[in-house]
Amino acid sequence: MNPGLTSRLEQLVRTVLSVAQDVGDQALASTSVEARSEWRELLGRLPTEDDLGRGVIGFGEDDLQQILAKAIRFRAIVGGLTPDAKRVGGARARRRPS
């Protein structure tokens, strides 16, 4: 970890990247053109593993929390979660069995 990058920021970035990976192409295919465009825009803003390695993420904790919330909402909307995992309040999301 880069000394300028806190463990909390690194954890948030990795969580956002993990949520982004959960949203697959098949799920995106069923969304509107606008939703796909919004998702691509969000993905384009995300730091990469290389960015993490360099300690350059371009976001503060508040920004990353907002991005994470948006990504989680999007994942829920495209149907990646079981209904009982959509609860708000820190409940861990569970993937539907494939």
Q: Which pLDDT value is given to residue 98?
A: 45
- What total of structural domains would you count in the chain? 1
Domain annotation covers residue 88 = no
pLDDT tens digit sequence for 35-88: 889 899 988 888 888 888 888 888 889 999 999 999 998 888 887 544 444 444
Band (pLDDT 50/70/90 cuts) for residue 1 is very low
Question: In terms of pTM, does the model score above 0.85?
Answer: no
Tell whether 92 is covered by a domain.
no
> Amino acid letter at 26?
Q
Listed in sequence order, the DSSP H helices in 32-82 are 33-45, 49-54, 61-77
Cα–Cα distance for residue pair 94/33, rounded to 1 Å: 27
* pLDDT of res. 4: 64
Task: Give the sign of the dihedral formed by CA 43, CA 45, CA 56, CA 15.
Answer: negative
Using DSSP's 3-state secondary structure scheme, residue 18 falls into helix
The answer as to whether 4 is a domain residue is no
Whether 96 maps to a domain, the answer reads no
Task: Tell me the residue type at 24.
Answer: G
Yes or no: say if 92 and 40 are a contact pair by the CB < 8 Å rule.
no
* 2 occurs within a structural domain: no
In a domain, 29, yes or no: yes
Q: In terms of residue numbers, what domain contains 67?
A: 14-80
Q: 2 pLDDT exceeds 60?
A: no
Cα atoms in the Cβ-side hemisphere of radius 13 Å centred on 32: 5
Average pLDDT over residues 13-33: 85
In a domain, 86, yes or no: no
Looking at the domain assignment, is residue 8 inside a domain? no
